[in-house]
Amino acid sequence: MRWLLPGGLVLLVLALQWPLWFGEGGWPDVRELRSETAMQEAENQRLRERNRALEAEVRDLREGSAAVEERARRDLGMIREDETFFFIVDEEDEAPGEVPGLMPEDASTGAAPEHFEEDTTIVEDPFDE
C-alpha cells in the first residue's frame, strides 16, 4: 500500500507526458515543423531577392531607353542602323554552313543537298478573299 501512491503518481505523470513526446503535435512534430519553416524561410528569401531584381529591371525599363535597348540587343539580336554585325565563330564551333537549323548547301554548286526535299505545297491564306 505504501508504494501505491508514488506508483500512481508516476503512472499519472507518464500518462500526461506520453502525448508530449509521442502524440500528435509532440516534440517530433515540432522539430519537423521547425525544419520545414527554415526551408520555407530560405525559399522566401530567395524569392524576395528575385522580386527585388525584377522590380529594378521594371523600373529601368520604364525610366530609360538604355535598358530597353539592352534587352532588344540581348534577347532579340537587334542592332542600330549605323552598326555592322560581326558573327565570330571559334575554331571549336561548327562552320557557318553547319549551323543547326539552317539548310546546308552544296559547297560547289550552292544548291541544296540531294537528301533535301523541297516542299512545293501551296498553302492558301484563309483570310484571303
Task: Divide the 129 residues of the chain into consecutive groups of 10 and give the mean pLDDT of each group.
Answer: 82 81 81 94 97 91 82 85 83 58 50 57 62
Q: How many domains does the chain have?
A: 1
Q: How far is CA 106 from CA 18, 109, 111, 113, 117, in A?
A: 82, 6, 5, 6, 14
- CA gap 123, 113 in Å, rounded: 24
Q: Is residue 12 part of a domain?
A: no
Residue 43 is part of which domain span?
A: 28-77
pLDDT value for 42:
96
Q: Is residue 49 part of a domain?
A: yes
Q: Is residue 37 part of a domain?
A: yes
Q: Is residue 83 part of a domain?
A: no
Q: Is residue 115 part of a domain?
A: no
pLDDT value for 115:
56
Q: Whole-structure pTM over 0.75, yes or no?
A: no
CB within 8 Å of 57: residues ≥ 6 apart: 67
Residue 2 has what DSSP assignment?
T
Q: Is residue 39 part of a domain?
A: yes
pLDDT value for 9:
86
Q: Is residue 103 part of a domain?
A: no
pLDDT value for 81:
86
Q: Is residue 99 part of a domain?
A: no
pLDDT value for 101:
47
CB within 8 Å of 26: residues ≥ 6 apart: 19, 20
